[in-house]
Structure 1
Amino acid sequence: HLFQVSSGLDSLVLGEGQILSQVKQVHKVGQGVVGFGRNIGGLFKHAITAGKRVRSETSIAAGAVSVSSAAVELAIMKLPKDGILSARMLVIGAGKMGKLVIKHLIAKGCKRVVVVNRSEERVSLLQEELSGAELIYQPLTEMLSNAAGADVVFTSTASETPLFLKEHVENLPPVAGQVGGTRLFIDISVPRNVGTCVSEVNLARVYNVDDLKEVVEANKEVRQKKALEAQMIIDEELRQFDAWRDSLETVPTIKKLRAYAERIRMAELEKCLSKLGDDVSKKNRKLVDDLSRGIVNKLLHGP
């Protein structure tokens, strides 16, 4: 399961790249945790290798949609034709996911996006990067007033409590008919930023990560083919991991065997050197020592 997660096969969006970084982070943090141990550490190392191989040796990541791009595609599907060009866009949160939403909106033709964020710095940096579009920063305190002027609201924050509830939305002004007449809330946050109760409001629709399956499943056949290619690599890496794990059981025996062989080597070396006498140079003594060590290592390497 971990190998599939690391490879992006267990993600809503097949081949999604962020999950591999998260698996790496777990492995990094685990190094300092009692009980993580060699077995679990090795499991994560092999899973990370599998994830890297799947992305480099298959086309699973080629053109793979992200959660953020799927959210934008969902908005396009729910808006009238070409509605994306005229709809007023509001993005709440300028973290990794929020930034990607903004970039995908611009790529789809949006020229103006209002961004509500805790600080202005991230929005300013993004504005420099996307010089061809207009990004308007608004503080969190102005979130509701900006939602009143938006047709589509994307939420992507780390808030533990909902930002929008029924009472926040029911008094917002209506949305123009040319963009569908319904205000769309597309919530890609975990936990959710938009309460399910908002769906009870007339002319408001709420979509969350689960609803992105509608976009992702649109190319199901291609996804399944890519998944089969990836699974072959995963199976190969699993065999490698199993072999490594099995080898751990023989480590104590191997150590004892090496120690036993080393004792015999040293004893026989001493006998040899004593027979050769004191006339043997330091260089030749080292040559004999290296010879005996090399023979032992080669004999033990195969088993």
Structure 2
Amino acid sequence: MKRLPPLPALHTFLITAQHCNFTRAAQQLHITQGAVSRQIAGLEEHLGYALFQRQARGLTLTREGQDWLPRVQQVFTLIEQGVREVGGRSATLQVKAPTCVMRWLLPRLMEWQALRPDVPVELTTTVQHGVDFRREGFDAAVVYGAAPNHGLQVRKLFDEQLTPVCAPTLCNRPLQLPDLARQMLLHPSRDEHDWRLWLQAAKAGFEPQGPKQHFETLDMAMAMAAQGTGIAIGDFALIGDDLRAGRLIMPFELKVATGKSYYLVSPSKTLPSGLAELMDWLARQAQPL
């Protein structure tokens, strides 16, 4: 039986079909236009046919897209109905997390919801790496950086370890360190700090002279690397699922610890049972790393 398409991509299709415009869909979904385009392209690849016709003046639904639209609308109508009817049975945990950790966190939250539907979680993503519980009404948050020391409930998830990653199609032969001088390097930030740190630890002894691209988030750099655009500097702790699925490979064994880590924190002095279970469960999921 063919694997079902991912729910987030179906939601993106629904919003895009309502507007027939990537830009307006991106504004409603609070993501970039490129992210909308990639999700639609991924859904079309999964299904095996086009859902939209791309035209100079905008988008139009294909016949298959027109057939899909009422079905997807029905699915999300049922979900919204379930939220209204079931939502009162258990308080929803509000969790905040930076976009850079989504590749690891989101699949595990989906697994948690399958295991514990009685403890629902609502996830808010942000480009920020911290949280201010005095001003933000979250039950818990994933933070990145130094160990928190403000009297919070803390579960350490994993340490950041930098390593280059790329699509398997980009490596027709084993890469050697000097090859990086000419390759397209993908940077998750404008300062290029992560690549410089890794190259220094690898004793590269050269400055990259090839083309490069900068992205606003680590997740965007990883997504472009998976498409074969170039070689990104990634966090080993966050790419395990991509490595196992064969979307990404590590052309070099060296992993460089930055001294920064990811932590799951909560302001509650005494954790409610559902929140305590969720935090402990996520910490156990991170232990193999």
Same fold (TM over 0.5): no
More strand by share: 2
Larger radius of gyration: 1
Higher relative contact order (CA 8 A, sep 6+): 2
**Bigger fraction of residues in helix:** 1
